[in-house]
Amino acid sequence: MKTLTALFTASIIGLAASVAHACDLGPDEALRLRDAGTIVSFEKLNATALARHPGSTVTETELEESYGKYIYQVELRDPQGIHWDLELDAVSGQILKDHQDS
Q: What are the tens digits of pLDDT across the range 9-57?
A: 444 444 444 445 679 999 999 999 999 999 999 999 999 999 999 999 9
Question: Is the residue at 9 inside a domain?
Answer: no
CATH number at residue 46: 3.10.450.40
Question: Is the residue at 34 inside a domain?
Answer: yes
For 76, other C-beta atoms within 10 Å of its C-beta total 23
Could you tell me the pTM of the whole model?
A: 0.76
Distance (Å, rounded) from C-alpha 101 to C-alpha 92? 24
Question: Is the residue at 40 inside a domain?
Answer: yes
Please write the tens of the pLDDT for every residue from 50-84. Answer: 999 999 999 999 999 999 999 999 999 999 999 99
Tell me which residue range forms the domain holding 42. 23-100
Q: Is 100 helix (H, G, I), strand (E, B) or coil?
A: strand
> When comparing pLDDT for 19 and 97, which is higher?
97
Question: Is the residue at 36 inside a domain?
Answer: yes
The total number of structural domains that make up the chain: 1
Q: Is the pLDDT of residue 1 over 80?
A: no
